[in-house]
């Protein structure tokens, strides 16, 4: 962070030419200051200014991109230690481990599962992000074939892993257009892999056997001119990983320690043989700073909760999540089912729909766009008043779906009932409970 919007503004051309996509230099400066724009968007900056601002506005943890196209994976870019301070930027990339030691059947099963695994929640697609291909056999042909197989089968990001530098180099070259992550530069091979990564402009993982060694190799690579690194401190227990991850993130943020200013890669798959436990360790890594999380399998029962956890931890605490404005039918609704309305703050939606579901009373839930604000806040901000609810109720199509004309509004909004009845003269406005948890009881005694 560092510079405030005003400080940045002072350095901009002040022509308000709009070429950066926003109308004024001040607006652009604010976007830069809040990390919502890249410096390059303004074409009229002098090199000096670029350097000065670039330095100051670059996030302390570099944003590294792996892969290309739609499924390119953005990692790092973090600016805080705790999510409430601002927000965590880029959720971790759950990455499936495939090894040349696995037989074909296992590989194809795992790969299919990987591809099938995708969920949608509040309009956001949740899916595992990458595949890691690991070469463990002496004979490198299997490894090469596997890389090819994976490349042909998925557009997802890639991590290529092999201790055999030659094999690794060949594999990377075979798919360098996919911008795979090269794993990993060690004390021994840093120079070779560093050059390879530079030549092919691929991101490079750095592995040390300790934080000290990691810092040393990382610094060396930085000096060689590498920019996109990913860090592995070598920790392979939950406790040690926790410690290392915290130290790496803190060093980057609090000390501006350059060698640690990169995203990290962690290996729950190497920390236990129990898949359930592996998932638990992965969960820990979501919370405490893992960027690439390598998993030995992608089973729905473990990857789904993991994706949920990462979505939760990485939501912007200052910008509420919102669901789509529409009629949600819960259960086997018919023309006599109750009709409820509330705002589109995702939490409101989840909790209300959950309680309606639990009531076993099939109901229509009208979700009105309140820009993700909760009911009372939305009302206070003029986004959930009678004047905006009425047109929505009329237009959303609920009048065709039910015979009755009774609308249940949240108990906290009792104040608008009168106004709403005036705006919706055909409807009778009922005051629902104040707490969602009282909905089941309320709905059970509801009759059309």
By CB under 6 A, the residues from 325 to 384 that bind ligand SF4 are 377
Query: Whose Cβ is closer to ligand SF4: residue 29's or residue 294's?
Result: 29
Q: Determine, following the binding rule CB under 6 A, whether residue 17 of this chain makes contact with ligand SF4.
A: yes
- Radius of gyration of the chain, Cα coordinates, nearest whole angstrom: 26
Return the C-alpha torsion angle 70, 71, 73, 74, nearest 10: 20
Query: Whose Cβ is closer to ligand SF4: residue 254's or residue 376's?
Result: 376
Query: Whose Cβ is closer to another protein: residue 87's or residue 227's?
Result: 87
Query: Whole-angstrom Cα distance, residue 190 to residue 266?
Result: 19
In the list another protein, ligand SF4, none, the entry touching 176 (Cβ below 5 to 8 angstroms by class) is none
Among 8, 16, 51, which Cα is nearest to 33's? 8
Among 50, 102, 119, 331, binds another protein (CB under 8 A): 119
Query: Whole-angstrom Cα distance, residue 145 to residue 151?
Result: 10
Among 255, 215, 219, which Cα is nearest to 234's? 215
Among 200, 377, 394, 404, binds another protein (CB under 8 A): 377
Is there a binding annotation on residue 5? no
- 3-state SS assignment for residue 320: coil
Rounded to a whole number of angstroms, the minimum distance from the CB of residue 26 to ligand SF4 is: 8
Q: Determine, following the binding rule CB under 8 A, whether residue 186 of this chain makes contact with another protein.
A: no
DSSP output for 203-237: -EEEE-SSHHHHHHHHHHHHHTT---EEEE----S
Is there a binding annotation on residue 202? no
Contact between 407 and 341 under an 8 Å Cβ cutoff? The reply is yes
Total of chain residues touching another protein, rule CB under 8 A: 105
Rounded to a whole number of angstroms, the minimum distance from the CB of residue 46 to ligand SF4 is: 11
* Near another protein in 294-313, by CB under 8 A: 299-306, 308-309, 311-313
* Near ligand SF4 in 55-94, by CB under 6 A: none
Whether cis (ω within 30° of 0) applies to the bond prior to 184 is yes
Helices (H) and strands (E) in the chain, counts: 17, 17
Q: Among the candidate windows 24-32, 90-98, 139-147, 437-445, which touches ligand SF4 by CB under 6 A? A: 24-32
DSSP character at residue 177: G
Q: Determine, following the binding rule CB under 8 A, whether residue 234 of this chain makes contact with another protein.
A: yes
* Near another protein in 161-180, by CB under 8 A: none
- Residues at the contact surface with ligand SF4, assessed by CB under 6 A: 12-13, 15-20, 24-25, 28, 42, 44, 377
């Amino acid at each position: 962070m560092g510079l405030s919007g005003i400080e940045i503004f002072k350095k901009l051309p002040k022509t308000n030419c709009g070429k950066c996509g926003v109308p004024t230099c001040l607006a652009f400066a604010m976007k830069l200051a809040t990390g919502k724009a890249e410096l390059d968007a303004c074409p009229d900056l002098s090199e000096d200014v670029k350097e000065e601002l670039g330095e100051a506005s670059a996030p302390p943890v570099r944003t590294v991109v792996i892969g290309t196209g739609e499924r390119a994976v953005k990692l790092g870019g973090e600016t805080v230690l705790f999510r409430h301070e601002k927000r965590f930027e880029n959720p971790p990339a759950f990455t499936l481990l495939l090894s040349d030691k696995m037989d074909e059947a296992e590989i194809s099963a795992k790969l299919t599962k990987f591809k099938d695994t995708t969920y949608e929640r509040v309009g956001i697609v949740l899916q595992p992000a990458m595949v890691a291909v690991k070469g463990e056999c002496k004979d490198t042909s299997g490894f090469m074939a596997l890389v090819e197989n994976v490349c042909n089968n998925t557009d997802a990001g890639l991590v290529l892993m092999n201790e055999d530098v030659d094999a690794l180099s060949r594999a990377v070259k075979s798919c360098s257009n996919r911008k795979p992550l090269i794993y990993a530069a060690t004390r021994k091979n840093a120079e070779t892999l560093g050059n390879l990564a530079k030549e092919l402009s691929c991101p490079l993982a750095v592995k040390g056997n300790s934080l000290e060694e990691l810092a040393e190799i990382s610094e060396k690579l930085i000096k060689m001119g590498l920019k996109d690194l990913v860090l592995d401190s070598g920790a392979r227990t939950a406790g040690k990983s926790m410690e290392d991850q915290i130290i790496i993130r803190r060093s980057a943020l609090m000390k501006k320690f350059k060698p640690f200013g990169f995203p990290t890669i962690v290996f729950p798959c190497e920390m236990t043989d129990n898949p359930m436990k592996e998932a638990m360790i992965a969960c820990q890594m979501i919370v405490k700073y893992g960027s690439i999380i390598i998993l030995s399998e992608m089973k729905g029962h473990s990857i789904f909760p993991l994706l949920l956890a990462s979505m939760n931890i990485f939501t912007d605490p200052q910008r509420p999540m919102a669901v789509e404005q529409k009629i949600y039918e819960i259960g086997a609704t018919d023309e006599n089912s109750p009709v409820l309305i509330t705002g589109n703050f995702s939490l409101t939606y989840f909790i209300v729909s959950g309680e309606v579901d639990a009531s076993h009373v099939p109901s229509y839930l009208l979700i009105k766009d309140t820009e993700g604000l909760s009911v009372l806040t939305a009302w206070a901000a003029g986004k959930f008043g009678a004047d905006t609810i009425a047109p929505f109720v009329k237009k959303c199509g609920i009048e065709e779906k039910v015979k009755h004309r009774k609308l249940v509004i949240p108990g906290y909004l009792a104040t608008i009932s009168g106004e709403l009845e005036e705006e919706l003269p055909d409807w009778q406005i009922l005051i629902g409970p104040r707490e969602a948890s009282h909905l089941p009881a309320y709905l059970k005694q509801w009759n059309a």
